[in-house]
Structure 1
Amino acid sequence: MGPSGPRTGGRSPGAAADGGLTTGAVARLLGVAPTTLRSWDRRYGIGPAAREDGRHRRWTGADIAALRNMCRLTSAGLPPAEAARAVLAGPRATAAPEPGRTSRGLGEPPLGSARRECRGLARAALRLDAPVMEELLTEVLDRYGLPAAWDEVMVPALHAVGRRWESAGERYIEVEHLLSWHVSGALRGVSAARPPVPGAGLSLLACAPGETHTLALEALAATLTQHGLPVRMFGAALPVEALEEAVRRTGPDAVVLWAQSRDTASHALAARVGAVEWGVRGARRRPVVFTVGPGWAGRQPPGTRHPHGLADAVDALATLGAR
């Protein structure tokens, strides 16, 4: 959902006698941090035309319309300075940038050649702009489909924010948490785009014990669901005994084990899961174990499969189920 418009009946909280709004009220209205509004005013001149007593900001309807354009352009990928110049130049200059346009401002997350939507998503995260993040995530999923949206927008944005946090100590950890939460919500909102595939095998998805990073598995679960392939997602840090019991109870064709770090990527775990048998006596079967995530890089356990990327994993699991 996008930001709602200003109220027309009565005086909104934070409104001045002349109908203008305080900075705090505008920040709540647009879902933008007050510090961001003050920065745009100070650096680029995107500020209120009127100031009460010569000091206190009072934002009019025209001022708020300019801010909406500023939010839209920065979220579409323009650096704040360039977006501000377009806003100040008037309505004819505030069209969103064409696809493929790549311009960067100083101090932005290092996103390389990622899509412009990725830069917009990272900027929205840095200013804790939840409504814009939701809009962007919905748009990229609709426009590019889940695998491309994950690989080209969500993952690079998460990496960029993570690098910003690592380079600045604990300053941006709230940014990473907020972005992760909204990405997770967008993935869980994906629904099946086609009917269930007849005879498709079941895939169990779980993080290794001690592993708490689930977003990549959530993306895989959402993509399998979208393709009509059955899946059970068990999430973070599933104890190995519980995973073994889930295999026996559900009889999956595949078990996908995610490990973010080498500390949680255990060869013994993969072997133990791959040895679990299910089915009737005389026709016992074992699941194929897929090891995914950077923790397994360069140390793939014998007898397991190690797909590269989301699309590769989906193709491999779909083919396995069709045996």
Structure 2
Amino acid sequence: MFYKQLLKNQVQGKMEIGQRVLLCLHIQLIIVVMVLNHSNAQGLKLGFYSETCPNAESIIRKTTYGFISRAPTLAAPLLRLHFHDCFVRGCDGSVLLNSTKNQAEKDAIPNLSLRGYHVIDAVKSAVEQACPGVVSCADILALVARDSVSMINGPSWKVPLGRRDGRVSKLSEALANLPSPFFNITQLKQNFASKGLNMKDLAVLLGGHTIGTSHCVAFGLRLYNFSGKGDADPSMDLTYVTQLKQKCKPGDITSLVEMDPGSFKTFDEAYYTLVSKRRGLFGSDAALLNNAETKAYVLQASRHGSTFAKDFAVSMEKMGKVEVLTGNQGEIRKHCAMVN
């Protein structure tokens, strides 16, 4: 018995040592990833194209304005394109790549509703005429997102440049990395933290839902079968449920609903007022009320004197630096939908 117990203790001791080693390696890996992300982000700078393509930013802004002036509602999908790009492989333009032998990000279910690619293509074409092979699609995405939001009276923010374009785009990675409209607060926290974004960034960036529309399928379960018993989500305001049911019938996959009813074309704080009244469209919107920090931000942003516009600018600049490629990494694509 003594030797059996001794052997057992030795085995347990070795297991504990092994677990500690694995933990240390895991921590070291996280530190290495953070250092690499930080060092890559340091490769970005304002005025990056001042010598190689001095008119790049003005060309991008002018071309973007041509589209937004005719169709202001394009601002929301263009902002969403940038967001979906940065959450998969970082801000490397991989969301723009077409499928080839493998299925690309844009063909993943969460990305099937993305639009605005024609704007990016037009901007890229205009920049290529002025400066062939100089400005990346990833930088164009970041600038177009900023410019389109500011053109509908939203905030503007600094966009340091120097991103390079990635050569890889995988459908599976989009499914694994994009935050779902069905996520609870724990899942959202983990998802944003994996990109170096904190709880305030989470609350602020979801405020982008102040503009744009959504297909009924993205929230239909909240109306008709939340717990699998034909019921509605109890966290959702009943009057709002009734209104949404008039627009979205069971199984509806085509109809569109305003994410911020009444001001979905205006970049304002109305989103937070709706969320505070349990009228957030997605489960992920409602989840903001299930964490003390994000709930406090929702309530603060819904009141007079909100700092939302300023906060959004800060978080967007931060998001635009996630896992970027710089220096000799990646490439500068000639066409945004395909690698060189």
Task: Between the two structures, name the one with larger relative contact order (CA 8 Å, sep ≥ 6).
Answer: 2
TM-score (norm 2): 0.23
TM-score by length of 1: 0.24
Q: Give 1 or 2: higher helix fraction.
A: 2
Higher Rg = 1
- Which structure has more strand as a fraction of its residues? 1
